[in-house]
Amino acid sequence: MSNPEHPHDWPEAARMLYAQMSEPALHTNVRALLAEASCQRVLVACSGGADSIFMLCHLWAQVDDLGIELVVAHYNHRWRGEDSQLDAAFVQELAQQLNCPFVTAARPENEAAFTETTARALRLDFLRGAAKEHSCQCIAFGHQLDDILETQLQRLARGSGSDGLAAPRPIHFFQAYPTHVRPVLHWGAGAIRMALNTCEIPWREDISNEDTGISRNALRHNVIPSLSDALARDASAGAARSRFLLEEEADALDGLARSFLPDAFGASALLDRAALRAAPRALTRRALSAWLSAHDLIQSLSAPAMDLLLDAVYAAKPNNRLSAGAFYIELDEATVRLESAQAVGQFLVSGSIEAGESLMLSTGALLETEFVELDDALRSTIMMGGVNADLEAYVAVAAEEALEVRGWQQGDRFRPIGAPGTKKLKDWFIDRHIPVKERKLLPLVLSHSGEIIWVPGFPPADTMKIAAATKRALRLTYQRRNPI
């Protein structure tokens, strides 16, 4: 890598890089899209790393041929202190020399629970907002060929379908947002760096990319090299071909779903349940995903919750109601429709759940209940505190009564197992250092008498604890949202 701190003639570097290419620098489909009259301004997401520098230089070298204007955008995650500031300054200098408008933002100081997922969401929100502000029809991302297998492995682990495994696509259209394009998706990381070094073009190196405690880095540095060695072939190249084939198949299924269930791909708040049931399950899943996306609700459902919705559509039970964001998905014999949940306070209107039922919460999390018979081993594990209170609880309830599920309210009191008495739930939250935002998302499970019997993250209520004589218990499980 060249020294990113010495002065550099960026216009000359970009022209030199473009001139020495022996194959198309930009993905063929992306180049064709950018050349269309409908695309006049492109927001270029530039971190300062090798991939985004390579992409920006090639786009800039071809702006006249393509008839586009570029806006350079940089999001400062503030993940690496002073190095993050230097990244931003590096990209700003590059944009100024290329005579491109430059827009930047930094992660808010008070943003809690900063993770890879949070980082991506914050950056994407910034980029989409900047694209709208600067009238950009497309956002260009620097994903390259090696990113494909990393993404596929991550998504395989969480059970994605063909759409998820066909990502990242060279072109991704959205109804409500600018089109996402990936102009250098056909270039491998090694070829990109070799080309930059040949032209002595500098870039910023993110040292956090070496941290194998981060899942994507562990895949890149450990898993994928071992996979390629074991198979004696370039696994990344094979993954790129699979991505292309999966994209073809996903698009074909999408077309079939639109033919079978056209209403799901519009703004309708009501769908024909019989038509959904008559279609193959794969097409119905796509139709429901498109329908929820059109109403900006797809992120409110976890993957298990989506499965639950599909099961409800095909089930013999005529009526059902599932929660999704600020709406309920209501099912009757004839229709599947959206109804406003009329959210009040900090959570949705109180709902109820019975043993054996599952409930999708407004956050997209999933709450499940079931009665279990306790053998000596399980009873001992529960009584010894061997249960992960973040995810599950076992409670001794007298009968198969309906339970209320709602959000935290001021004045709520709770006595978990082992506590000397009741205390305001707010004080328990403070003691456990649970952020205010997270408190508003946690479901409270209450008995028919109104007593709080469980809050995820705490042991269950002391009055409901499992004793040596308890033979049967109600098991409550809580699964946080996992994107589909």
Q: Could you tell me if 42 and 171 lie in one domain? A: yes
Residue 104 confidence (pLDDT) above 70: yes
Residue 112 confidence (pLDDT) above 50: no
pLDDT at 4: 52
| Region of poorest pLDDT, from 53-67, 230-244, 332-346 | 332-346
Q: Could you tell me if 168 and 116 lie in one domain? A: yes
Element (H, E) at 483: none
Which residue in this structure is represented by tokens 């004793």? 467
User: What is the CATH number for 422?
Assistant: 3.50.40.10
For 113-128, the pLDDT digits (tens) are 456 767 788 899 999 9
pLDDT at 397: 82
- For residue 442, is it within any domain? yes
Q: Could you tell me if 331 and 366 lie in one domain? A: no
Q: How far from the centroid of its chain's Cα atoms is residue 484's Cα?
A: 8
Choose one of 296, 315, 342: the last residue of a domain: 342
DSSP state of 293: H
Q: Could you tell me if 144 and 236 lie in one domain? A: yes
DSSP state of 9: -
Containing domain of residue 35, as a range? 10-245
pLDDT at 113: 40
- For residue 3, is it within any domain? no
Give me the number of domains the chain comprises: 3
101 closest CA partner among 77, 138, 124, 70 = 70
- Give the mean model confidence (pLDDT) for residues 312-334: 86
356: left (phi over 0), alpha (psi -120 to 50) or beta: left
Element (H, E) at 193: helix 189-198
Q: Could you tell me if 313 and 362 lie in one domain? A: no
- Give the mean model confidence (pLDDT) for residues 83-87: 91
Determine what percent of the chain is predicted with pLDDT higher than 70. 91
Please count the other Cβ atoms lying within 10 Å of the Cβ belonging to residue 471: 10
pLDDT at 132: 96
| Region of poorest pLDDT, from 75-84, 241-250, 309-318, 463-472 | 75-84
- Give the mean model confidence (pLDDT) for residues 375-404: 86
- For residue 5, is it within any domain? no
For residue 336, give both structure tokens. Answer: 């599947």
Determine what percent of the chain is predicted with pLDDT higher than 90. 61
Choose one of 245, 280, 299: the last residue of a domain: 245
DSSP string covering 35-64: TSTT--EEEEE--SSHHHHHHHHHHHHTHH
pLDDT at 5: 54
User: What is the CATH number for 212?
Assistant: 3.40.50.620
User: What is the CATH number for 274?
Assistant: 3.30.465
Average pLDDT, the chain: 88
Residue 401 confidence (pLDDT) above 80: no
Residue 268 confidence (pLDDT) above 80: yes
Q: Could you tell me if 188 and 280 lie in one domain? A: no
- For residue 225, is it within any domain? yes
Q: Could you tell me if 213 and 275 lie in one domain? A: no
- Give the mean model confidence (pLDDT) for residues 46-59: 98
- For residue 2, is it within any domain? no
Residue with more model confidence, 135 or 482:
135
Q: Could you tell me if 176 and 315 lie in one domain? A: no
Residue 195 confidence (pLDDT) above 90: yes
Q: Could you tell me if 16 and 49 lie in one domain? A: yes
For 176-193, the pLDDT digits (tens) are 899 999 999 999 999 999
Choose one of 245, 277, 301: the last residue of a domain: 245
- For residue 1, is it within any domain? no
For 231-258, the pLDDT digits (tens) are 999 999 999 999 999 999 999 999 999 9
Please count the other Cβ atoms lying within 10 Å of the Cβ belonging to residue 134: 15
- For residue 290, is it within any domain? yes
Q: Could you tell me if 127 and 212 lie in one domain? A: yes
Residue 170 confidence (pLDDT) above 90: yes
pLDDT at 314: 95
130 closest CA partner among 24, 32, 41, 246 = 41
pLDDT at 347: 44
- For residue 320, is it within any domain? yes
Q: Could you tell me if 52 and 160 lie in one domain? A: yes
Q: Could you tell me if 278 and 312 lie in one domain? A: yes
Burial class (CB in 10 A: 0-12, 13-18, 19+), 355: middle
- Give the mean model confidence (pLDDT) for residues 291-313: 85
